[in-house]
Structures are given as structure tokens and as C-alpha cells.
Amino acid sequence: MSIPLEPFWVLRFCEEGAGVVVRRERIPWEALDPGSIGIRIHYSGINYKDLLAATGRGQILRRNRLVGGIDLAGEVIDSRDPAFPIGSHVAAVGGGLGETRDGGYAEYARLDPEQLVRLDPQLSPLEAMQIGTAGFTAALAYQAIREAGIGPGAGPVVVSGANGGVGCFAVDLLAGQGYPVTALTRQSAWRRDLLALGAREVLDSGKIDPSPRPLLRGQWAAGIDNLGDPVLSWMIRSAKPQAAIAVIGMAASARLETSVFPFILRGVRLLGINSTQVEPTLRKTLWRHLAGDWRPRALAQMAPRQLAFDELPAFFAAPVQPSRFGRTVVRIHPELCPTTV
């Protein structure tokens, strides 16, 4: 396989007026953002950040016109780096994809080595994008909790937004490593699925203690929050002494209202998780874990949906996105892409 000589399909997000237009276009190889590694993309994914970028609801785009998609997996077809030989399988998550540079919603991409990981032979491109940004972010959060010195014996770990992409991967990873996990969700329909992933209990996030007291009964040795307030404030105030809470998202709110008391009286620690800018060595280490001892135990259940590339415009045009469990994978080149592994 060599670089394409004819124009190929991309899905561009274009800022026009006060909004964003999603447009499927054909472009030549030279029109892609530059990079020393050429990739034929097999799969991408749909992430919360992609939805914000495509609809203009979040200030995600840093250019007024680029190829969307914050993750991708595929095959190297052109390389000026011996660490990424032609024919090898690679993945990219974050690093500015779909925000500051062309991303994964394209038949081809050009990236630099520091943005890529070469996939372990045990991990196919499909599996890499079933994991994708969601699973990688969950792994970052788990790594931060481990580095904070919190092991499985410290007590329960609470995960908010547990039916979402990051949430369900976090539940599976923590439970697989022996942690007692409490899954927090508003969607009672997903209770059985979360218990099957290993959650010890499932709580309704709409019924958390509404008390404004600065400290609540300490329950959690650690937490992973996808939502922001009011759940994050409750999680902080109900954390045990020396607890660590990994903050990865703001699906409900970017605000945080709390007091200093959980921090100065219980020593609660907030761990900020940024999956966009990750040091290359750590990126490789986490993907090695995800292919090995942290490998998701229920990967097909956590990424149960696939869309064809040409279905993306209609998907992003839908006025309301229904609540879903887990992650959606996008098949970029259908002829290369099995629907299962």
C-alpha cells in the first residue's frame, strides 16, 4: 500500500458564522496537515469532545477548518521513521487531533512519531479504537490513583457517568484490578450492564445527598469523575481521609463549588487528567498495559456500536443524541474492517 494518488474522503468541521458545518469532502494527499508518518485509517471513534466540536456547543476547534475526530487507528503506508515501518499498525489519541490539526475522520492521515503508538501485536486496530480515547483516559485516571498510593484494600472507588465511554472502561479496569467499585449513573437501564462489568453497587446520581454541608460521611477511598458539579462536589465532600479523585470531564458542568474543609481536614486530593497532552513514554506505557495486564475484559460490551464513515454527517446532524452505553466505533475503510474480532 502506498500513498493515494487520487483525492480521498474526509469529514471536515468548518466554522461558518456563529456555528459549525460538518462537510464531507474529497481532498488530495498534500492537503492533509504535514507529518512524517502516513497512515491509512481503518477506524476512528465518536467521543464527547467530537460531539461538542461538530455541533459548536464547545470551544473545541482551534482552527476554523479541519478534519474532525480525536482518535484513529490504522496501517502505516509511508514512513521516515524506522520505529514505524510500512505495514505496522498504529493508533493515535489526543495530541491535538480534531482540535488543532487534522484528525481521524478521513481515509488517510499524516502524523509525527510523537503523536503515535505502534500497536502491540495482541491489539488489533479495531480493538485499539474500541478502547480509544475513552479507555486511554480511564487508564490515565487509574494510573494517577495508583501513583497516589491507593490500592484495592483502601476502600470503595466511585465512578460517575459510569454508563459513558470513560465511565464503563473505568469500572471494568478498576474491578479487574481488584478494587471495590461503586458505579454512579442516572440511567437505571444500565444497572445490569454495570454490575456485569464488575461494579459492586450502582447508585442513582440523581439521588445523591443534596446537603450543602462542607463535609459528609466519608465513603470513598478514590473517585473518577466525568461530570463536574454537583456530583464532583458531593464526591469531594464524601471522600475518606487522604482520598484521591481523578477529574476527567465536565459532561454536566464546568463549575465546582466546594469549600477548603475536605482538603485541609481530610487531605482529599484532586488529580487533573488531561488525555490530550501526554508525554510519549507514558503514552506507550499505558497502551502496553491496555494490551496486556489492563486489557478490558468486556471490550465488545463496552464498545457495542459501529457506524460507517458515510453515516457520520447524519449522526452529527441529529438534534438530540440519546443516552448510550459505552463507546461507538467508526469504520473508515469498510473493506478493511471486520465488525468483530
Nearest Cα neighbor of 133 from 79, 97, 172, 161 is: 97
pLDDT at residue 321, rounded to an integer: 65
pLDDT 10s digits, 114-135: 999 999 999 999 999 999 999 9
Residue 40 has pLDDT above 90, yes or no: yes
Residues of each domain in the chain carrying CATH 3.40.50.720: 134-272
pLDDT surpassing 70 at residue 337: no
Domain with CATH 3.90.180.10 in the chain: 8-118+304-336
* pTM of the predicted model as reported, rounded to 2 decimal places: 0.94
Could you tell me the pLDDT band of residue 339, with boundaries at 50, 70 and 90? low
Q: What is the pLDDT of residue 227?
A: 92
Task: Summarize pLDDT for 11-23 with one digit per residue, the tens.
Answer: 999 988 878 999 9
Judge residue 292's burial from the number of C-beta atoms within 10 Å of its C-beta, 0-12 exposed, 13-18 middle, 19 or more buried: exposed
Q: Convert the pLDDT of each residue in 190-248 to its tens digit.
A: 999 999 999 999 999 888 887 889 999 999 999 999 999 999 999 999 999 999 999 99
| Contact in structure between 150 and 181 (CB atoms under 8 Å) | no
The distance in angstroms from the start CA to the end CA of the chain is: 23
Domain 8-118+304-336 is found in CATH 3.90.180.10: yes
Residue 165 has pLDDT above 60, yes or no: yes
Q: Is 58 exposed, middle or buried (0-12, 13-18, 19+ CB in 10 A)?
A: middle
The CATH H-level (homologous superfamily) assignment of domain 134-272 is NAD(P)-binding Rossmann-like Domain (3.40.50.720)
Cell of 256: 465546582
What pLDDT is attached to residue 71?
97
Asked whether residue 340 carries a pLDDT value surpassing 60, the answer given is no
